[in-house]
Amino acid sequence: MKEYLALLRGINVGGKNKLPMKDLAAMFRDAGCTAVETFIQSGNVLFDAPPAVARQIPAIIPAQIEKRFGHRPPFVMRTAGQLAAVVANNPFPPSHEDQLHVMFLAGTPDAARIKSLDPERSKPDSFLVRGAEIYLHLPNGGGSTKLTNAYFDSKLATISTIRNWRTVTKLNQLLQGE
């Protein structure tokens, strides 16, 4: 079982911010991580590390990517337990799996910022903030929604990255050793 998950935003999307997964995995190993595994090409890295090493990873890896590849991706990390809680706390019906997404935030936003979010911003889309995650129900898909990283990052004063529900549940299974 691996203990940590790193989620990088905007990696290998539309031919931009190219980053080979073998190079990304090597950066994690060079930083002191073990059992490093990437999942798909979009910047999902599962790994183990002593807590002192894990605390440094959000600073080390983006700096290495910038040095070697010329871009610095937003970076969010979760423990295996945190990701299991994300899956368990999904507020939307599982029958809508293909319409569900989770936005992972770098930090937990304060209540006043959450209250400033516009629930009518992108109807029929809906969202619910729970801790450092935003659960999204996007019936028309992610391509036309106004519930974007840029919107939430600016309103909540944080950085975020989004994953579809299938990816979230698969990452959880991999972290749990299933």
79: in domain: no
173: in domain: no
Residue 1: the pLDDT is: 65
Q: Quick one: 111 and 66 in the same domain?
A: no
**Domain end point (choices 48, 73, 98):** 73
Q: Which domain holds residue 106?
A: 86-164
Residue 142: the pLDDT is: 87
Q: What percent of the chain has pLDDT over 90?
A: 83
Distance between CA atoms of 115 and 119, rounded to whole angstroms?
A: 10
Structural domain tally of the chain? 2
122: in domain: yes
Residue 15: the pLDDT is: 72
> pLDDT digit string (tens) for 119-176?
999 999 999 999 999 999 999 988 899 999 999 999 999 999 999 999 999 999 999 9
Q: Quick one: 59 and 33 in the same domain?
A: yes
Distance between CA atoms of 154 and 67, rounded to whole angstroms?
A: 26
**Domain end point (choices 73, 97, 127):** 73
